[in-house]
Amino acid sequence: MKHLDRLAVYCGSAPGSDMVFADAARATAAEMVSRKVDLVYGGGRLGLMGLIADSVLAEGGRVYGVIPQSLVDVEVAHAGLTELHTVTTMHERKARMTDLADAFLALPGGIGTLDELFEAWSWNALGYHCKPFCLLNVAGFWNGLISFIDHATDSGFLSQRRRSQLLVAANPGEALELLDEAAAAATQGMVW
């Protein structure tokens, strides 16, 4: 039984310096559509964000964007989505994306991607939701972050249980499998 209907994908508003990042965004889109998983994302048309939205749409999938009015005003909103939700603040954007999604996946990105990932994780820790999250470790992009998280755990600032919540996948298929399993556990009241 499938437990993942909508996936929030966090990723860069830039394309990155290596085509492998764009390839991963396209592969993620194809995997999502093949599993009938809709995309929830930041609503932009630039970088990996725009690429994954365009790729899901091209594959026949549905895309739900959430974007602050300030970004609409500077013309970075994607005009061709299934639905585009316009909000006032970045905080509202993250809250709406959390409400719309069953799980979270972080592709390569910068400070915005990190902000979104860590807010999803901290909201989980505070009990605001029990939705799983995963890093798609494209070409080792997240290795440094994973090492830091392990260091924080070893230093006593993160419990082993909390550390184990951060799922890591090498490819989109593995990511969606891990997230679906964790979402299933959460719906059964199990702590994943």
Closest by CA to 149, choosing from 140, 160, 141, is: 160
AA identity, residue 175: A
Residue 188 domain-assigned (yes or no): no
Beta-strand pair 38-41/63-68: parallel
Residue 126: its pLDDT value, please? 92
Q: How far apart are CA 177 and CA 123, in angstroms?
A: 22
Residue 113's alpha-carbon distances to 14, 33, 62, 117, 154, in angstroms, are: 11, 22, 21, 6, 24
Residue 86 domain-assigned (yes or no): yes
Domain containing 78 equals 6-172
Where do we find the tokens 């999938």?
A: 61
Q: How far apart are CA 57 and CA 72, in angstroms?
A: 20
Residue 102 domain-assigned (yes or no): yes
CATH at residue 135: 3.40.50.450
Residue 186 domain-assigned (yes or no): no
Number of folded domains in the chain? 1
Residue 46 domain-assigned (yes or no): yes
Residue 21 domain-assigned (yes or no): yes
Q: How far apart are CA 153 and CA 40, in angstroms?
A: 30
Residue 140 domain-assigned (yes or no): yes
Residue 186: its pLDDT value, please? 80
Per-residue pLDDT tens digits for 131-182: 999 999 999 999 999 999 999 999 999 999 999 999 999 999 999 999 999 9
- Which residues in the chain land under pLDDT 50? 192
Where do we find the tokens 């090492």?
A: 147
